[in-house]
Every structure is written in structure tokens, then in C-alpha cells.
Amino acid sequence: MFRSNVLVCGGTGCTSSHSDEIVARLNDELAKQGLSEEVNVVRTGCFGLCALGPIVIVYPEGSFYSMVTPDDVPEIVSEHLLKGRIVKRLLYKETIVDDNTTKSLNETQFYAKQKRIALRNCGVVNPEVIDEYIARDGYQALGKVLTEMTPEQVIDEILASGLRGRGGAGFPTGLKWKFARPNQADQKYVCCNADEGDPGAFMDRSVLEGDPHVVLEAMAIAGYAIGATQGYIYIRAEYPIAVDRLRIAIQQAREYGLLGKDIFGTGFDFDIDLRLGAGAFVCGEETALMTSIEGKRGEPRVRPPFPAVKGLFAKPTVLNNVETYANIPQIILNGADWFKSMGTEKSAGTKVFALGGKINNTGLVEVPMGTTLRTIVEEIGGGIPNGHKFKAAQTGGPSGGCIPEALADVEVDYDNLIAIGSMMGSGGLIVMDETTCMVDIAKFFLEFTVDESCGKCTPCRIGTKRLLEILDKITSGKGTLEDIEKAEELCEYIKANSLCGLGQTAPNPVLSTLRYYRDEYLAHVTEKKCPAGACKALLNYSIVADKCKGCTLCARNCPVGAINGKVREVHTIDVDKCVKCGVCMSNCKFGAIVKE
């Protein structure tokens, strides 16, 4: 029994900031101080508050150290772990009450309004040790369904829970399983979508890095429910930590008899294999994903038939994403009513969001469905940095839409987001302030979908390209009022005629920004100005004569020599040479350079 446990975040974000080196230094310093037998160092998954990583938590005190560097380790070991003195300079400031008192993480602004179900083990267990998962009720749900429930009862429980797919569409999970159950075949499959290609999204990756066994257990439960014996996890190769931990988890589960033949001595066989994707966004669409698993070019198929009838290798298949599966074991153990007690009437449970953009508390959050956008941004997210104002939030990634500040009190669930022109998506939530141009942000997401289109259908392949050309024209100051009308007409055509969800939802960022920020489009077209000052082609930098001191700092830093003037004389900017990089403005100490 260890007297102290030191938990170190081993998610991708903290790993990129040297958390592996922190673990190594901790073990070295503990050995030097003779504490290796008393203190246990645990590499966990993501704690959620990525903005403050690398994170180290020491238990039983619960001391939350943030932005730790390898050089901080000797002090943590010698002061805290050896002498019992908390290193106050490293504490997360929100946990400090006064000089002698700290509060728990659950009392801090970031964590207080969260409810962790899918993330319940992330940042708590060592994801590479199956015994730690088992100690947290792991694989009990699988044991329960195999020994106490019929497949039909499992499906009924998931149906009753109201769990909807967390991958974006929000289709009832139990209904999908129910459709696959009666279809007779010599082989059925259970697939997991871990492709997660949305810009700014890292929810599924974090679950797999922090709690891989929950997905394996849930897939085995799904296999039992529909009569499948083989599962596949389709994960993008850009997630090396998640891939490694999944491989370790699968091997451990096989060694424990929790995957493979005759699980729990019930005669039920189920195994799981990994398939690595090359990073194509379109392979997040279920039929394209299955086509890719089959070793073919990842392109969507015409539906019907749906995968429950004819899916992977033309066999009945169920496919859910990582977060959906992460809820299954807890629903089985706690019951459908427990799950339905959270969230809203039509959107039960919780939702994980990757909170990013212009926000103080960048990270991973899990909140009950129905939590307002304002609560997520201003309370959990800590508001907007640098004194700027909240302008909009993009949900659903390239498939979603922008929600204006005026609608910040909307309760976030599937139906409410669709009603205001956005969608839940897989859970990316990008926050924007008044320095963000809404025309430019629509163009950014459209550039992504144009690049990621598989090209199989004409509306998506050509339509999105033409739409992007219109937005390019508008942001470069060459747009007309007719271009806005053409863009709207083209959006509706692409939505109505594209083969799969990628093309059908690609116009959403454009339509939502036209709906709520049409005045910005009009300013770009009629005034040839970008109200947010973000579109370079519409910017001009000038020097205010009565503020310029002639210090020459702007001229000396201009990369293209576009600023003229002598020492102690008013300087001028040659607009023909200026590349609008803003270096002059950022270097001026007198506020003499303005952006128009």
C-alpha cells in the first residue's frame, strides 16, 4: 500500500509538453530520496483542463499542480512528498482558498457543473493496467448481460435509456441495435468509429487514451445484443497514443478471458481488431468507414440498404462512436432511469465537448444535456481572454453552424441546436470573439470540406468548390450582392443533392453565418470592409500623425520596407508595398498605427 499516489496526465496535450519526462524525473527523484516504495507514480489519461497542462495531482491531499515542468519535479518530491509541504507556487489558483486552505477540484469553476460519465475514468486510472479498470467496476456490465440478461433485454434497456448516438446524427442507439438483431447472417459485426476528423475535436481520442477498456466492454455488450462475434475499431493513425493503449487493452482483455472464446464461461465468443485510417474526414461517415475497413477507397455508399441490414463485408453491422460506447456499461449497471434522470426529455445523459478557440479554459468538458451555451463558455470555460467579448460559438465542426451571442442561453441538446441552424456533431465547440470575421470562419470550414470531399458525387465535389470561390471573392473585396444570393442558392442545392453527410452538411457554416451575420457579408460587399479587421485584402494600416514620435521602430521591423520617415519625424506607410502583416502595429509603443 502506497502512502501517496502521484497522477500525471498522459494525454496527447500534456505528453507534447513533456509529461513523459516528468514521470521519468519523478521516478528518479523518488529513488534518490528513498521513496520509491512509498509513493506510486501513475500515468493517466486527460484530466480535462488542457490549458493548464502538464497536470500533476498528489493524493490523498488532492493537490492540483498545473503547468508543471520537469525542472519542478525535484521541488515537488523534496518538499511535498518528503517533507509534507505543498508547493503553493505550482497549485492551480482556483483551488487556493487562503494561505492554509485549498478546495477540491469538484468545487472549482471548471469542474463544478460537469458530470463525468463517459470521462469517469479519464485522469483517474492508469489506462495501461486492466486491474485499475476492473477496480472501478470494469467488465461488471459485460458479466451482467451475459449471465443475467437476454439480448432483447439489453436492447430494451438501451432503448429505454434514451441514449442517442454521440457521433453527430443523434440516432437512438437502442433502435440501431434493434434493427440489426433480427437480421440473419453467418456473421455480424460491431464497429467503433474512432476516426474523429473535425478540426478542434479531441473527445474520442481522450476517452481512448484515458479509458480504452470501456470501449472494449461496450462493444462486447453490443456484440451480445445483436449476435455478432467480431468487432473492429477504426481509428486514425494520427492518434499514436490511443492506438498503443488500445493494443495493450485488447491484449490484456484477451489474457483475462474478457475477449475471445467462451467469455465468462457462457459460450459467448467476441473479439476485437484495430484498423488504422489514413486521416480522411469522409471516413467518419459510416458507410465510407466500412468501405475503408474492407481495404477499399473510403467512399460512401447509397443507403438503403442500411448497415444494420448490409454493412461491413455486406453483413449486418452496428456502428457507434467512442463516446456512445463509453456510456453503455454505466447504463447497464445503473439502469435506464438513472441515465434519463440527466439531460433533457429528448436528449438524455451528458455530452463531452472539446472546448477550444478564444476561451480561457481550453480543454475537455462533460456536461448534462440541456446545459446552456453561456454556462459552458462563461462559467466552465472561464470566459474570453484579453478582455474581448464573446461573439459566437461553432458547434458540430465543418458540419455545424455558428451560434451568436444573442442565443447563448439556448439549452444545448440535439433538437435545440438543429432548430437554430447548427448541430451537435461529435462535440467540437470553437469559441470566437469580436476579432473573428464570420465570413472568414465560414470560408475556413468550407476549405476543410472541399479538401476532404471524396469526390464521388458532383454536388459535393463541384458545388462546395464553387461555393468556396464565392466566399473567396467576398473576403478579397471583389464580391457583389448577387454573389450572396448565388451562395444561398448553391448551399440549398448542395444540401439537397449530396450523397452523404459530408456534402449534405458542408453548407451549414455558410448558411448559419448568413442567417445571423448577414451584415458582415454586406459590409464586405458594399463597403469593401471587414468589420472584424480579419480579412487582409480589405485592411489598410495608417499612421496617425499627431501620435507618431518618429522613433523608427515600425520602419526597422517592417519586413518589406513599406514604412518611410526620418528620426523624430512623422512616418508614412506605402500602401502598395504593405503586405498587411501587422508587425508595425504590434511594435508601435505610442498607438500611432491604426487598422482600418
For cell 455486406, what's the residue?
314
Q: Does residue 516 carry a pLDDT above 80? A: yes
Helix (H/G/I), strand (E/B), else coil: 348: strand
Q: What mean pLDDT is predicted for residues 562-577?
A: 92
User: Is the N-terminal amide bond of 559 cis, ω within 30° of 0?
Assistant: no
SS3 of the chain: helix, strand, coil, percent, to 5:
45, 15, 40
Euclidean distance between CA atoms 499 and 494, whole angstroms: 9
3-class DSSP assignment, residue 322: helix
Q: What is the pLDDT of residues 134-146, one digit of tens each?
A: 999 999 999 999 9
Q: What distance in Å separates the CA atoms of residue 576 and residue 540, rounded to the nearest whole number? A: 10
What pLDDT was estimated at residue 77? 97
* CA triple 153-155-161, angle to 5 deg: 100
- Average pLDDT score over residue span 311-319: 97
Compute and round to an integer the Cα radius of gyration of the chain: 27
The mean pLDDT value for 509-520 works out to 96
Hey, what's the cell of 541?
Answer: 494600416
pLDDT at 409 over 80: yes
Beta carbons of 494 and 459 less than 8 angstroms apart: yes
Q: Is the pLDDT of residue 277 over 80?
A: yes
In 341-437, alpha helices (H): 373-374, 414-419
Looking at per-residue pLDDT, the higher value among 105 and 35 belongs to 35
Q: DSSP assignment of 484-534, as one string?
A: HHHHHHHHHHHHHH-SSHHHHHTTHHHHHHHHH-HHHHHIIIII---TTS-
**pTM exceeds 0.75 for this model:** yes
**Beta-strand relationship, 189-194 and 317-321:** parallel
Rounded CA-CA distance 361/353 in Å is 12
pLDDT of res. 412:
94
Q: Helix, strand or coil for residue 338?
A: helix
Q: Is the pLDDT of residue 169 over 90?
A: no
The mean-pLDDT minimum among 75-89, 360-374, 458-472, 534-548 falls in 534-548
* pLDDT class of 426 with cuts at 50, 70, 90: confident
Q: For 50-108, how does the pLDDT look when each residue is reduced to its tens digit (9 = 90+)?
A: 999 999 999 999 999 999 999 999 999 999 999 999 999 999 999 987 877 788 888 89
Q: Residue 204's pLDDT is what? A: 95
Q: What is the pLDDT of residue 100?
A: 72
Q: Are strands 401-404 and 390-395 parallel, antiparallel or unpaired?
A: antiparallel
Distance CA 231, CA 411 (A): 36
In this prediction, residues 273-288 reach a mean pLDDT of 93
Give the closest residue to 26 by CA, choosing from 61, 66, 69.
Answer: 69
CB distance 578 to 560 below 8 Å? yes
Percent of the chain with pLDDT over 90: 89
C-alpha cell at 249: 487493452
pLDDT average, residue stretch 273-278? 96
* Structure confidence at residue 469 (pLDDT): 97
Q: What's the pLDDT score for residue 19? A: 96
- 180's enclosing H/E stretch is helix 173-180
pLDDT in tens, 180-205: 999 999 999 999 999 988 888 899 99
Angle, vertex CA 476, rays to CA 471 and CA 479, nearest 5: 60
CB atoms within 10 A of CB 103: 13
| pLDDT score recorded for residue 16 | 95
Instruction: Quote the percentage of the chain above a pLDDT of 70.
Output: 100
Q: In the prediction, which pLDDT does 97 show? A: 79
In terms of Cα–Cα distance, which of 82, 38, 35, 88 is closest to 63?
88
Residue 593 phi, psi (nearest 5) = -105, 130
> 3-state secondary structure string, 433-473?
ECCCCHHHHHHHHHHHHHHHCCCCCHHHHHHHHHHHHHHHH
Q: Provide the pLDDT confidence category of residue 167 given band limits of 50, 70 and 90.
A: confident
**Quick count: other Cβ atoms within 10 Å of Cβ 51?**
19
Other C-beta atoms lying within 10 Å of the C-beta of residue 260:
14
**To the nearest whole number, what is the mean pLDDT of the chain?**
95
The type of residue at 589 is K
Residues 181, 151 contacting (CB under 8 angstroms): yes
